[in-house]
Amino acid sequence: MAEIVLETRGLTKRFGGVTASDNVDFTLRARELRCLIGPNGAGKSTFFKCVTGLHTPTTGEVYMRGQDTTGWAPHQIASLGVGIKTQVPSVMDALSVQENIWLAARRFMPVAEANRRTRDMIERLRLGALARRDLGQLAHGERQRVELGMVAVADPWLVLLDEPAAGMSAEDVERMTEILHELNQTTAIVIVEHDMQFIRAIASTVTVFHQGRVLMEDQVDKVMADATVRNVYLGKAA
Protein backbone atom coordinates (compact mmCIF):
# COMPACT_ATOMS: atom_id res chain seq x y z
CA MET A 1 0.00 0.00 0.00
CA ALA A 2 1.17 3.46 -0.84
CA GLU A 3 2.16 5.95 1.83
CA ILE A 4 -0.64 7.81 3.62
CA VAL A 5 -0.36 11.48 2.62
CA LEU A 6 -3.42 12.88 4.35
CA GLU A 7 -5.20 11.61 7.40
CA THR A 8 -7.72 13.13 9.77
CA ARG A 9 -8.72 11.57 13.08
CA GLY A 10 -11.98 12.56 14.73
CA LEU A 11 -11.97 15.90 12.94
CA THR A 12 -14.78 18.03 14.36
CA LYS A 13 -15.61 21.68 13.72
CA ARG A 14 -18.42 23.45 15.55
CA PHE A 15 -19.73 26.91 14.80
CA GLY A 16 -21.69 27.80 17.92
CA GLY A 17 -24.33 25.07 18.19
CA VAL A 18 -23.85 23.80 14.64
CA THR A 19 -21.53 20.88 14.12
CA ALA A 20 -20.41 21.43 10.55
CA SER A 21 -17.88 18.65 10.55
CA ASP A 22 -18.54 15.74 12.88
CA ASN A 23 -15.85 13.27 13.90
CA VAL A 24 -14.47 12.70 10.42
CA ASP A 25 -11.86 9.96 9.94
CA PHE A 26 -10.34 10.27 6.51
CA THR A 27 -7.37 8.61 4.86
CA LEU A 28 -5.77 9.39 1.52
CA ARG A 29 -2.80 7.59 0.00
CA ALA A 30 -0.13 8.78 -2.39
CA ARG A 31 -1.31 9.33 -6.00
CA GLU A 32 -4.91 8.67 -5.03
CA LEU A 33 -7.70 10.72 -6.59
CA ARG A 34 -10.62 11.32 -4.28
CA CYS A 35 -13.79 13.32 -4.68
CA LEU A 36 -15.74 14.63 -1.73
CA ILE A 37 -19.44 14.98 -2.49
CA GLY A 38 -22.55 15.72 -0.51
CA PRO A 39 -25.52 18.05 -0.49
CA ASN A 40 -25.15 21.70 0.54
CA GLY A 41 -24.21 21.97 4.19
CA ALA A 42 -22.92 18.40 4.33
CA GLY A 43 -19.65 19.68 5.77
CA LYS A 44 -17.31 19.04 2.86
CA SER A 45 -16.19 22.65 2.56
CA THR A 46 -15.69 22.91 6.31
CA PHE A 47 -13.65 19.72 6.20
CA PHE A 48 -11.65 21.20 3.34
CA LYS A 49 -11.02 24.42 5.27
CA CYS A 50 -9.92 22.55 8.38
CA VAL A 51 -7.45 20.53 6.34
CA THR A 52 -6.03 23.56 4.53
CA GLY A 53 -5.65 25.63 7.69
CA LEU A 54 -8.30 28.20 6.79
CA HIS A 55 -10.22 26.97 9.85
CA THR A 56 -8.86 25.46 13.04
CA PRO A 57 -10.73 22.26 13.97
CA THR A 58 -12.55 22.28 17.30
CA THR A 59 -11.26 18.80 18.10
CA GLY A 60 -9.43 16.09 16.21
CA GLU A 61 -6.17 16.03 14.31
CA VAL A 62 -4.91 16.45 10.76
CA TYR A 63 -1.77 14.61 9.59
CA MET A 64 0.09 15.17 6.35
CA ARG A 65 2.73 12.59 5.50
CA GLY A 66 2.69 11.71 9.19
CA GLN A 67 3.27 15.31 10.28
CA ASP A 68 0.67 16.71 12.69
CA THR A 69 -0.55 19.87 10.95
CA THR A 70 -3.56 20.59 13.15
CA GLY A 71 -3.96 24.34 13.61
CA TRP A 72 -1.23 25.27 11.16
CA ALA A 73 -1.59 28.42 9.09
CA PRO A 74 -2.34 27.95 5.37
CA HIS A 75 1.11 29.18 4.34
CA GLN A 76 2.78 26.58 6.57
CA ILE A 77 0.69 23.79 5.07
CA ALA A 78 1.34 25.04 1.53
CA SER A 79 5.06 25.16 2.33
CA LEU A 80 5.05 21.40 2.88
CA GLY A 81 4.33 20.99 -0.83
CA VAL A 82 0.55 21.00 -0.70
CA GLY A 83 -1.27 22.76 -3.53
CA ILE A 84 -4.54 24.42 -2.55
CA LYS A 85 -7.29 25.94 -4.66
CA THR A 86 -10.21 27.64 -2.95
CA GLN A 87 -13.80 27.68 -4.13
CA VAL A 88 -13.80 31.27 -5.37
CA PRO A 89 -11.08 31.82 -7.96
CA SER A 90 -8.28 33.35 -5.96
CA VAL A 91 -5.76 34.92 -8.33
CA MET A 92 -3.80 38.14 -8.62
CA ASP A 93 -5.88 40.20 -11.03
CA ALA A 94 -3.47 43.04 -11.83
CA LEU A 95 -0.61 40.65 -12.56
CA SER A 96 -0.01 38.71 -15.77
CA VAL A 97 -0.63 34.99 -16.23
CA GLN A 98 3.11 34.50 -16.32
CA GLU A 99 3.69 36.45 -13.10
CA ASN A 100 0.92 34.58 -11.28
CA ILE A 101 2.39 31.20 -12.11
CA TRP A 102 5.95 32.39 -11.56
CA LEU A 103 5.12 33.56 -8.02
CA ALA A 104 3.74 30.11 -7.22
CA ALA A 105 6.86 28.42 -8.61
CA ARG A 106 9.34 30.83 -6.98
CA ARG A 107 8.27 29.76 -3.48
CA PHE A 108 9.88 26.36 -3.98
CA MET A 109 12.77 26.96 -6.37
CA PRO A 110 15.41 29.49 -7.46
CA VAL A 111 14.63 32.14 -10.09
CA ALA A 112 16.08 30.39 -13.16
CA GLU A 113 14.20 27.17 -12.47
CA ALA A 114 11.01 29.09 -11.69
CA ASN A 115 11.31 30.88 -15.05
CA ARG A 116 11.69 27.57 -16.87
CA ARG A 117 8.88 25.85 -15.01
CA THR A 118 6.59 28.82 -15.62
CA ARG A 119 7.20 28.59 -19.38
CA ASP A 120 6.55 24.85 -19.34
CA MET A 121 3.39 25.21 -17.30
CA ILE A 122 1.96 27.93 -19.58
CA GLU A 123 2.57 25.62 -22.51
CA ARG A 124 0.95 22.69 -20.76
CA LEU A 125 -2.12 24.80 -19.95
CA ARG A 126 -2.17 26.06 -23.55
CA LEU A 127 -2.16 29.64 -22.35
CA GLY A 128 0.78 30.79 -24.47
CA ALA A 129 -1.18 33.50 -26.26
CA LEU A 130 -2.35 34.96 -22.96
CA ALA A 131 0.91 34.73 -21.03
CA ARG A 132 1.40 38.50 -20.79
CA ARG A 133 -2.24 39.37 -20.23
CA ASP A 134 -3.45 40.39 -16.80
CA LEU A 135 -5.61 37.84 -15.02
CA GLY A 136 -8.33 40.47 -14.62
CA GLN A 137 -8.85 40.49 -18.40
CA LEU A 138 -9.32 36.74 -18.70
CA ALA A 139 -12.52 34.69 -18.90
CA HIS A 140 -13.64 32.68 -15.90
CA GLY A 141 -12.56 29.33 -17.32
CA GLU A 142 -9.13 30.68 -18.21
CA ARG A 143 -8.70 32.08 -14.73
CA GLN A 144 -9.58 28.70 -13.23
CA ARG A 145 -7.04 27.08 -15.51
CA VAL A 146 -4.35 29.57 -14.47
CA GLU A 147 -5.12 28.90 -10.84
CA LEU A 148 -4.76 25.18 -11.44
CA GLY A 149 -1.43 25.95 -13.07
CA MET A 150 -0.39 27.89 -9.99
CA VAL A 151 -1.21 24.87 -7.88
CA ALA A 152 0.53 22.40 -10.18
CA VAL A 153 3.71 24.31 -11.06
CA ALA A 154 5.41 23.68 -7.73
CA ASP A 155 5.20 19.88 -8.05
CA PRO A 156 2.97 19.28 -5.02
CA TRP A 157 2.57 15.80 -3.55
CA LEU A 158 -0.93 16.62 -2.38
CA VAL A 159 -3.45 18.83 -4.15
CA LEU A 160 -6.65 20.06 -2.53
CA LEU A 161 -9.25 21.55 -4.87
CA ASP A 162 -12.54 23.11 -3.83
CA GLU A 163 -15.03 22.99 -6.74
CA PRO A 164 -12.53 23.40 -9.57
CA ALA A 165 -15.18 22.91 -12.29
CA ALA A 166 -17.68 25.44 -10.95
CA GLY A 167 -19.00 27.73 -13.68
CA MET A 168 -16.82 26.26 -16.42
CA SER A 169 -17.82 25.44 -19.97
CA ALA A 170 -17.87 21.81 -21.12
CA GLU A 171 -14.70 22.38 -23.11
CA ASP A 172 -12.95 23.93 -20.10
CA VAL A 173 -14.02 21.04 -17.91
CA GLU A 174 -12.62 18.58 -20.42
CA ARG A 175 -9.25 20.30 -20.43
CA MET A 176 -9.32 20.52 -16.63
CA THR A 177 -9.96 16.77 -16.42
CA GLU A 178 -7.02 16.16 -18.71
CA ILE A 179 -4.73 18.30 -16.57
CA LEU A 180 -5.92 16.64 -13.38
CA HIS A 181 -5.24 13.16 -14.75
CA GLU A 182 -1.78 14.24 -15.77
CA LEU A 183 -1.21 15.76 -12.34
CA ASN A 184 -2.48 12.59 -10.69
CA GLN A 185 0.52 10.65 -12.08
CA THR A 186 2.67 12.24 -9.41
CA THR A 187 0.37 13.58 -6.73
CA ALA A 188 -2.61 12.71 -4.59
CA ILE A 189 -5.67 14.85 -5.28
CA VAL A 190 -8.73 15.68 -3.22
CA ILE A 191 -11.59 17.38 -5.05
CA VAL A 192 -14.66 18.86 -3.42
CA GLU A 193 -17.27 18.86 -6.15
CA HIS A 194 -20.97 19.18 -6.89
CA ASP A 195 -20.88 18.35 -10.56
CA MET A 196 -21.60 14.63 -10.97
CA GLN A 197 -20.76 14.78 -14.67
CA PHE A 198 -17.29 15.94 -13.76
CA ILE A 199 -16.87 13.31 -11.06
CA ARG A 200 -17.90 10.57 -13.48
CA ALA A 201 -15.46 11.94 -16.04
CA ILE A 202 -12.51 11.68 -13.70
CA ALA A 203 -13.82 8.34 -12.37
CA SER A 204 -12.46 8.24 -8.89
CA THR A 205 -13.16 7.00 -5.43
CA VAL A 206 -15.82 9.11 -3.79
CA THR A 207 -16.35 10.03 -0.16
CA VAL A 208 -19.93 11.07 0.54
CA PHE A 209 -20.54 13.60 3.29
CA HIS A 210 -23.89 13.99 4.98
CA GLN A 211 -24.70 16.17 7.98
CA GLY A 212 -21.03 16.62 8.79
CA ARG A 213 -20.23 12.92 8.71
CA VAL A 214 -18.84 10.48 6.21
CA LEU A 215 -21.78 8.50 4.85
CA MET A 216 -19.90 6.13 2.61
CA GLU A 217 -16.74 5.73 0.61
CA ASP A 218 -16.48 3.73 -2.60
CA GLN A 219 -16.06 3.74 -6.38
CA VAL A 220 -18.13 6.39 -8.09
CA ASP A 221 -20.46 3.91 -9.82
CA LYS A 222 -21.21 2.02 -6.63
CA VAL A 223 -21.85 5.25 -4.79
CA MET A 224 -24.22 6.41 -7.49
CA ALA A 225 -26.09 3.14 -7.34
CA ASP A 226 -26.46 3.27 -3.56
CA ALA A 227 -30.03 3.92 -2.41
CA THR A 228 -29.10 5.95 0.69
CA VAL A 229 -26.78 8.21 -1.28
CA ARG A 230 -29.42 8.76 -3.91
CA ASN A 231 -31.82 9.75 -1.18
CA VAL A 232 -29.64 12.26 0.64
CA TYR A 233 -27.68 13.62 -2.23
CA LEU A 234 -29.51 13.35 -5.48
CA GLY A 235 -32.99 13.70 -4.08
CA LYS A 236 -35.59 11.00 -4.23
CA ALA A 237 -36.60 11.75 -7.79
CA ALA A 238 -33.17 11.18 -9.27
* Residues at the contact surface with another protein, assessed by CB under 8 A: 52, 73-75, 78-79, 84-86, 90-96, 98-100, 102-104, 106-108, 111, 115, 118, 132, 134, 136-137, 150, 154
Nearest to 199, CA basis, from 165, 160, 156: 165
Question: In whole angstroms, how close is the CB of 237 to another protein at the nearest point?
Answer: 38
Question: Closest distance between another protein and the C-beta of residue 58, in Å?
Answer: 20
User: Considering beta carbons, is residue 105 or 224 the nearer one to another protein?
Assistant: 105
Nearer to another protein, 46 or 52 (CB): 52
Which helix (H) or strand (E) segment holds residue 124: the answer is helix 111-124
Cβ 106 to another protein shortest distance, Å: 6
Are 153 and 117 in contact by the 8 Å Cβ rule? The answer is yes
Residue 160's closest CA among 184, 191, 181? 191
Beta carbon nearer to another protein, 72 or 233: 72
Q: Which is nearer to another protein, 57 or 89 (CB)?
A: 89
Determine whether 144 is exposed, middle or buried from the number of CB atoms within 10 Å of its CB (0-12, 13-18, 19+).
buried
**How far lies 53's CA from each of 31, 115, 157, 236, in Å?**
22, 29, 17, 35
Please report, as a single letter, which amino acid is at residue 104: A
Residues 169 and 237: their CA atoms lie apart, in Å, by 26
DSSP 3-state assignment of 128? Answer: helix
Nearer to another protein, 146 or 215 (CB): 146
Cα→Cα distances 133→22, 124, 214, Å: 44, 17, 43
In the complex, minimum distance from the CB of residue 114 to another protein, in angstroms, rounded to a whole number: 8
Spatial contact of 140 and 121, defined as CB atoms under 8 Å apart? no
In the complex, what is the shortest distance from the CB of residue 133 to another protein, in angstroms, rounded to a whole number? 10
Shortest CB 102 distance to another protein, Å: 6
Decide: 19 and 215 in contact? Cβ < 8 Å: no
Amino acid letter, residue 35: C
Instruction: CB nearer to another protein: give 80 or 196.
Output: 80
Q: Considering beta carbons, is residue 105 or 179 the nearer one to another protein?
A: 105
Q: How far is the CB of 45 from another protein (least distance, A)?
A: 15
